[in-house]
Amino acid sequence: MDLLDSSNPIDLFDKNWRIYSQATNKPGHLLEETAVVKNSIISEGCIIKGEVINSIISSEVFVEEGAKVHNSVILAGAVLKEGSFVNRIILGENVVVEKNEHFGRKDEILFIESVN
C-alpha cells in the first residue's frame, strides 16, 4: 500500500533500480466504461467494471459492475460480484465475493482466505 503514497521515495520506473520478476504473459488489464479507478495499481489480465480506489489488484481479478474495492489488496484470480464491497481487506487468491456481500471495517485490516 506504501507504493500508492505519492510521497513514497520508491520510484518503480527508475531505470537504475531494476526489479526482476517472471513475466506471466497475460493480456493487459481492461477497464470498462463503467470502471472508476483512483490511486490504484492494476495488474495484467484484470477486468475492472466496478470501482477500485486506493487499492492494489493482482493479476486476473474480475471486479464486476457495481462492485467496490477500497483501501484493499486483492490477490490473483479473485472475483468481486455485482454490489459487493470490500474495505481494508486482503482478499486471498481465487476468492469469490458474492453479490451484495460486504467485508471490512474502518479500524482494522482483515485477511480473507475463503468466503465459505
Round to whole Å and give the CA distance between 105 and 86: 9
pTM of the predicted structure, to 2 decimals: 0.80
Total domains in the fold of the chain: 1
Residue 86, beta-bridge partner list: 69, 103
* CATH number of the domain to which 34 belongs: 2.160.10.10
Looking at the predicted structure, is the pLDDT value of residue 105 above 80?
no
Give the tens place of pLDDT for each residue, 7-63.
777 776 778 877 677 766 788 888 999 999 999 999 999 999 999 999 999 999 999
User: Which residue segment(s) compose the domain that 46 sits in?
Assistant: 2-112
Grid cell digits, residue 69: 474495492
